[in-house]
Amino acid sequence: MMVELDDNRISDSVLRIVVMASGEGSNLQALIDAIESGQIENMRIEALLCDQPGAHCIEKAIRHGISSHILPAPQKLKRSSPERRSYDERLATIADSYKPDFIFLLGWMRLLGQAFLGNFQRKVINLHPALPGTFPGTNAIERAFEAFNQGKITNTGVMLHLVPDEGIDSGPVLSVVEVPIYKSDTLSILEERIHSVEHREVVKLAQRLAYNRGLEEIQDREMREAQGAQGTQDQEILREKESEHASRIDIGI
């Protein structure tokens, strides 16, 4: 089910995206490739925010002319600490300077507090390599693989969800896909399969955002399509009943 965002308004013809990432940046690259190839129209990645100096996502962004900001943070920050709030405020100031329509967390490995999230209500979207309610936090793929080997699960998944608060991978779900795990899998094979699904789903959601001009429009469109499909189904059932009734009359029943 899609999530309605009543207060989201797209200010011009191009959706402005800020990406936040901490590592390799393969999902960032998938988004860049889809935009540059025309697979996604009317979307522009304005900036990358990264908390890890030397992360490969920075190279990818610079190579494609995307403004990059590296903001290292102390390794251990308590949620309520002034340092944590100050760091989140710095992130928010930089992100807000690009006036983003959405912020994509694509492998961002740090929890965000309200000092950041409060500035971007219903605009922050996180990618997580697990099904809703399972394996929140870090090392989700490894934990799913271990659970499979213990006979606890038969599949895992990928989801994209809104980030309204400091809950860990628990916001309203925008899209979810199950990913099977096979007995012949190694951890690296499962990781490759999940990353492939991640790339596809990030691009699909971005396409929907750009095409529908926001998430509330996605919901409205899908509701109309569902209602149309139900109406068509009802008409078919009615025609079948009328045909059955006519047949009974013809044979004198």
Q: Do 65 and 35 meet the contact criterion of CB atoms below 8 Å apart?
A: no
Q: Which of 64, 69, 128, 245 is catalytic?
A: 128
Q: Of all helices (H) and strands (E), which one includes residue 226?
A: helix 215-250
Question: What sign does the dihedral 192-197-203-209 (CA atoms) show?
Answer: negative
- From 126, 72, 78, select the one nearest 102 (Cα to Cα): 126
β-sheet bridge partners, residue 103: 18, 124
State the alpha helices, DSSP H only, in 118-214: 140-149, 187-212
Query: Among residues 113, 205, 216, 217, which one has the least CA distance to residue 161?
Result: 205
Q: Does the active-site annotation cover 245?
A: no
Neighbour-count burial for 34-51, b at 16+ CB within 10 Å, e otherwise: bbeeeebeebebbbbbbb
Which residues are known to be catalytic? 128
